[in-house]
Amino acid sequence: TLGENQLTGWWRSDLSLVRDQWKGIAWFLGNTSLAATLKMANDNFLGILVLGYYSGKEGAAYYKIAKSFVKLMTRIMGPLYEAIYPELVRISSLNALKDFKKLLKYSTKNLMRFTIPVAIVILIFSDPIITLIFGKEYLPASNPLRIVTLAVLITHLTFWVNPALLAFGRPGLRTLIGAASTTSYIVLLFFLVPSFSYIGAAFAFLGYAIVKALTSFIGLKFSIRKEKERISKARASMPPV
């Protein structure tokens, strides 16, 4: 680290000190950038583009309103992500898997205390919410809003998977999960949108959220198993006291 090498900041550091880690750094940065690109495409562009092609501006507008409104729910995950990741890295480096699981449960529980009440309000009062904020002419966006809200609720239940996989040093697995869920989203969009327009797009996003949640759980379970094996091998190689 910088402190161990008596360096006061990265701008004064000799890059040769991390020469052996350049490959890992490049792998991490590349996967992080690709995962962020996939997320941005899923959240902002894919559904709108497909709807614009099949249903025109009107259908795309209804879906965009629904997606834009639920962004208020997703913004809370940014600060929480930044808060939980360093702690997950610390716990992972200490091989404390029990504390790792406790932190995930605690974080998810506290996030749900905010998300579930908001989701219930949106599900029940989506019609007056849309009418009040956007006007009666956009009332058809209320049902997509309900469906997308359910999708966002599912993603909140698994928000910790990304920082957890990074803490385990598996950015490639995170990218693979993102690619698989994005592929499912694209397939569902082309299957549902031609027949069901913006409602189909909303259900496609719900399907994407479900696929991402399932693959995330599978990926995290795999990572935890590998981490347990690594810890067991490390303990077995330690000389007896």
How many angstroms separate the first and last alpha carbons of the chain? 29
Q: How confident is the model at residue 236 (pLDDT cuts 50, 70, 90)?
A: low
Listed by start position, the domains of the chain span 20-234
Return d(Cα 128, Cα 230) in angstroms, integer. Answer: 54
Lowest mean pLDDT among 42-56, 195-209, 221-235: 221-235
> Could you tell me which of 85, 147, 70 has the C-alpha nearest to residue 115?
70
Q: How confident is the model at residue 217 (pLDDT cuts 50, 70, 90)?
A: confident
Q: Whole-model pTM?
A: 0.83
d(CA 62, CA 1): 51
What are the pLDDT digits (tens) for 112-169? Answer: 888 888 889 999 999 999 999 888 999 999 999 999 999 998 988 887 788 888 878 8
pLDDT digits (tens, 9 = 90+) for 53-68: 999 999 999 999 999 8
